[in-house]
Amino acid sequence: TFHFSGISSMNVTLGVPRLKEIINAAKLISTPIITAKLECDNNKVAARIVKAVIEKTTLGEVSKYMKEVYAPGSCYISVELDMDAIEQLKLNVDVHSVRRSILYGTKGIAKNA
């Protein structure tokens, strides 16, 4: 499971305000937290894979660097992916999936290559 254990200062929207968010399908949820019970809850690798599928990942989180390059007659963005971070997060991300996400304007990196 994914939760904030031991963090007593974590404010979570409960009760009627939370019901209103759900019923009104609020786009901006006050405290976007999901608690889910996994069928096989003793497998950390499987838990990381499930987390990677449902959690939004930005390019900045899986890049060693991103820089704008201005050259005569052209400009581009140079990105070096952090393959160690990608492996540790159990993401199905490579150069091709990042390129597709940039070209087609998806929010977050496409996880299913």
Q: Give the domain extent around 71.
A: 57-113
Domain count, the chain: 1
Segments in the chain forming alpha helices (H): 15-23, 44-54, 83-88, 95-104
Residue 46 lies inside a defined structural domain of this protein: no
Query: Which pTM does this prediction carry?
Result: 0.54
**Where are any strands of DSSP class E within 1-113?**
63-71, 74-81
User: Tens digit of pLDDT for each residue in 33-87?
Assistant: 667 778 877 888 888 888 777 777 888 889 999 999 999 999 988 999 999 999 9
- Predicted confidence (pLDDT) at residue 113 exceeds the cutoff of 50: no
